[in-house]
Structure formats: structure tokens, C-alpha cells
């Protein structure tokens, strides 16, 4: 690898947003969507058809975002286009979902991709769907659910806000009180999400969770006003997890609330907004510190300026340190080597500057013993390592290549348990992309 830090070649959501503001891009998206569906029809039910169908689904979402909501004036809704889009999105999503139901691995990838796309619409809630899914998973385990049901609940929670794909960014990120029309648009994400997921037979509970997670235990919620046990159990669980994370996260109109204050707010909703049984389970996990590794991933920045500016500064700092290590030809072999000592000093300086704890991890790509690896295969595996790290660290850290087989991952505002959780995500994403019979990952923390 050249003596220059490289970044993973992963297209960002921000680039999608910029592209989506042009009419040319919208027409191109339409052509791609139609072509993908047409070709997939000719490919029977093979893997190629499912891949093209996934591309079609994501392009359909992008198309709707472009055409419907970015071409209006003065943030006024066009009811005719809105009705058409919701119908068309549901129809095409149904086609795509039917095609991917037979592949659990592909379904998982689509679910996580959609969750990331949803969260990217709100710059203040990056990682929201993931955190809600982890809260729900922990609640399911505490309730004694089977491993299969826990995993289903986790995936359902990941998709609980999928209907927000159909809500304009200007409404989601609006500072100030929503108009009546805007409030109705936000509430419609429950029914739209339920419709989109209704054909996902491999995850039958997802539609109900998306549709009913804003219902109240006393019947005062939306969209249907059902109450008590008429609300699906998984939706009642997600309602508690979703409310906690919404209060904990920084928003356009307020800073996030501390856990102790949120506990009091949740108690106020006992028996009215929340099912008392599931609320007790959540509060017990909170009191025992079982949720700390998850909500610490919100990573509130105690610095001046925006989170984006903070990430840019950290990225530049990390790249500079990586360049120095590469240029000095200092191998990163252990937490006590010379290069690690240098990095440890840089990490301490950052902690002092920003008054928060940082985690610094070296991730190494290792070919399996006795396996012959080509240069191209090595490069592809390293790119997959970078993608997995960037995906896992979105909103909670930055990463940079520092040699031909190593990455540096800098995590901010971390605890030991949150570092472990993030590394588990890196490993999970990596082995979805790379054959574990040919490569392995190792890591050590500095």
C-alpha cells in the first residue's frame, strides 16, 4: 500500500441526498428501478434476481424521496403525488420483499441497510434504529424469549421506523412546532411502514411492530387507537425502547435528557402509554446498567460546533497519525510497541482537549494459516474490513487504514463494554462479506 492513508470507498448517504436534489438524478433512478425489475423477472428466482430486486427496492425508496418530497414549494404537500408514491412504494417493495424472503442472509443485509437509510434522514438520531433493536433484544432475553424470538424481535425493531422513508427531511429535521398537516405526515410513517413490511413473510411480526409501536396502552395512541393486549406484544416492547432512545438522543429542538430524568418520564407513562410489565423489565435493565453499553453509543459531543465538524477533526487527526506511522515504518504489533506508545500519547491529548474518554483499537486482517492469498484478494478483504469498520462506527467513531493489512479505529465517549459491542459489529459485518475459511480478524486496544 502506498504511504498515504486511504478511506473506504463507501458511498455516503449525504451524497445520495445531494444527488437527489436534481431532476436528472430522479429520472436516472426511475430508469434503473424499472430496468432492474424487468431484468430480475427474466432471471427466475436465482441469487442474481434477489440482488437486482434489492437494488430496485433501494432505488425505489430513493426515487420516491426525490420526486415526491424534494419537488414541492414552501414545504406544502401534494396529496396526489403522496397518494401515488405510497401506493407505488408499497407495490414495488412488496415485489422485492417476496423475492428476498427465501434468503435469510440477504434479508438481514436489506434490513440493516434500510435501518441505516432511515436513520440517515435525521442527522441527530444516527444509530437510533440500532439502539432500539439492542434495547428490544435485551428485553426479550430478560423476558425469557427463545433465541429465535429474540432475533426476530431485534430485526423487527430495526425496521420499526421504515415508514419514515416517506416523510420529508424538512419535517423530520424541522426546528419548532409542527403544523397539523406536518404532524399527520409524521404519524403516517406507522401505516406506511406496516404496508411496506406486510409481505415480509420471513419476518411476519415486522409489519405489526412498524404499524403499532406508537399505540398507547390506554388506547390513546395512533394510528388505530387499539389498547392493552390488542397491541402486539413486540410493538409494546419496542414502544418502551423507542421512547427511551427518543428522549436520550439530542434533537433539533433540545439536548438529550439524562437517564435519571428519562426514568421519571417513563414512570409517568406507566399503564397509560406503556405496558407496565414491559416497562418494569426495561427499568430493571436500566437500573442494573445492562443498557449502558447501548445508550453510550449516542456519543453526545461535549465540544463546540456540530458533530459533523467534530468527526472531521477526529478523522484528520487519525489520518495524520496513520501517515506518521506508515512513513516511519513503525509496525503495530502490540499495545506496548513504539507505534502504539505514540498513538497512546495522541489519544491522551485528545481526551484532555475534548474532556471525554476515547477508545483506540488496531484491527488486523490475517490470512488463514496455510492458505495462499492473491494480492487482489488481499485488497478486497482489506476493503471489506474498512467497510465493516466504517459501518459499525457510524456516528460513534472514525477509522483509517494504517498499513497494508491494518486499520485504526478511534471511538469517542466510550466505555469498555461499548468498545466490545462495536467490535462485535465489525466482526459480524466483515464475515458477511469475506470467507472465514480464508481470512480472520484480530485486534488489540491501545
CA dihedral 429, 433, 439, 442 (to 10 degrees): -10
CA distances from 443 to 5, 242, 362, 388 (A): 19, 33, 5, 14
Q: Is 370 exposed, middle or buried (0-12, 13-18, 19+ CB in 10 A)?
A: exposed
Q: What order do you get walking across the sheet with 397-401 strand by strand?
A: 397-401, 406-412, 358-367, 439-445
23-42 helix and 79-100 helix, angle to the nearest 10 degrees? 30
3-state secondary structure of 94: helix
**Tally of CA atoms within 13 A in the half-sphere of 413 that contains its CB:** 17
Q: In this structure, are strands 406-412 and 439-445 parallel, antiparallel, or unpaired?
A: unpaired
Nearest alpha carbon to residue 270 among 278, 259, 260: 278
Q: What is the reported pLDDT for 390? A: 85
Q: Across the 446 residues of the chain, what is the mean pLDDT of every consecutive 10-residue run? A: 39 42 44 46 46 54 49 40 48 51 53 69 69 93 95 92 84 79 91 88 91 96 96 97 87 73 93 97 92 63 48 79 80 84 83 74 91 88 87 80 84 72 85 87 90
233-248 helix and 128-142 helix, angle to the nearest 10 degrees? 130
Torsion 159-157-169-292 (CA) sign: negative
Q: In this structure, are strands 439-445 and 397-401 parallel, antiparallel, or unpaired?
A: unpaired
Q: For the chain, state the CA radius of gyration.
A: 23
Nearest alpha carbon to residue 5 among 324, 311, 310: 324
3-state secondary structure of 251: strand
Q: What is the reported pLDDT for 225? A: 95
Torsion 22-28-30-33 (CA) sign: negative
**Tally of CA atoms within 13 A in the half-sphere of 355 that contains its CB:** 5
Amino acid at each position: 500500500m502506498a504511504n498515504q492513508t486511504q478511506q473506504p470507498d463507501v458511498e455516503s448517504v449525504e451524497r445520495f441526498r445531494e444527488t437527489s436534489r436534481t431532476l436528472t438524478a430522479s429520472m436516472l433512478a426511475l430508469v434503473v428501478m424499472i430496468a432492474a425489475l424487468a431484468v430480475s423477472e427474466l432471471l427466475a428466482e436465482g441469487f442474481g434476481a434477489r440482488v437486482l430486486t434489492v437494488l430496485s427496492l433501494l432505488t425505489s425508496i430513493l426515487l420516491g424521496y426525490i420526486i415526491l418530497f424534494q419537488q414541492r414549494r414552501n414545504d406544502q404537500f401534494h396529496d396526489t403525488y403522496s397518494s401515488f408514491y405510497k401506493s407505488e412504494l408499497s407495490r414495488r417493495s412488496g415485489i422485492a420483499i417476496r423475492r428476498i424472503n427465501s434468503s435469510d442472509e440477504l434479508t438481514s443485509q436489506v434490513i440493516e441497510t434500510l435501518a441505516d437509510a432511515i436513520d440517515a434522514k435525521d442527522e441527530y438520531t444516527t444509530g437510533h434504529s440500532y439502539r432500539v433493536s439492542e434495547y428490544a433484544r435485551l428485553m426479550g432475553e430478560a423476558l425469557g424469549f427463545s433465541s429465535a424470538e429474540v432475533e426476530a424481535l431485534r430485526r423487527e425493531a430495526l425496521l420499526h421506523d421504515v415508514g419514515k422513508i416517506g416523510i420529508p427531511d424538512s419535517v423530520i429535521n424541522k426546528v419548532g412546532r409542527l403544523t397539523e398537516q406536518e404532524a399527520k405526515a409524521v404519524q403516517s410513517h406507522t401505516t406506511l411502514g406496516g404496508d411496506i413490511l406486510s409481505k415480509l413473510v420471513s419476518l411476519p411480526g415486522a409489519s405489526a411492530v412498524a404499524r403499532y409501536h406508537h399505540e398507547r396502552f390506554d388506547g390513546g395512541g395512533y394510528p388505530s387507537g387499539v389498547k392493552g393486549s390488542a397491541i402486539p406484544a413486540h410493538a409494546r416492547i419496542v414502544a418502551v425502547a423507542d421512547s427511551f432512545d427518543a428522549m436520550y438522543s439530542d434533537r433539533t429542538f433540545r439536548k438529550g435528557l439524562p437517564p435519571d430524568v428519562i426514568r421519571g418520564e417513563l414512570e409517568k407513562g406507566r399503564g397509560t402509554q406503556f405496558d407496565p410489565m414491559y416497562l418494569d423489565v426495561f427499568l430493571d435493565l436500566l437500573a442494573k446498567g445492562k443498557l449502558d453499553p447501548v445508550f453510550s453509543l449516542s456519543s453526545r459531543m461535549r465540544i463546540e460546533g456540530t458533530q459533523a465538524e467534530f468527526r472531521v477533526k477526529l478523522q484528520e487527526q487519525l489520518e495524520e497519525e496513520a501517515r506518521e506511522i506508515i512513513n516511519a515504518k513503525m509496525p503495530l504489533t502490540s499495545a506496548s510497541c513504539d507505534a502504539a506508545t505514540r498513538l497512546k500519547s495522541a489519544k491522551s491529548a485528545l481526551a484532555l482537549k475534548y474532556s471525554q474518554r476515547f477508545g483506540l483499537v488496531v484491527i488486523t486482517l490475517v490470512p488463514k494459516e496455510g492458505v495462499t492469498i492473491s494480492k487482489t484478494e488481499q485488497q478486497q478483504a482489506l476493503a471489506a474490513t474498512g467497510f465493516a469498520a466504517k459501518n459499525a462506527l457510524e456516528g460513534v467513531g472514525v477509522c483509517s487504514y494504517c498499513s497494508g493489512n491494518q486499520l485504526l479505529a478511534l471511538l469517542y465517549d466510550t466505555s469498555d463494554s461499548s468498545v466490545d459491542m462495536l467490535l462485535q459489529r465489525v466482526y459480524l459485518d466483515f464475515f458477511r462479506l469475506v470467507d472465514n475459511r480464508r481470512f480472520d480478524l484480530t485486534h488489540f486496544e491501545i
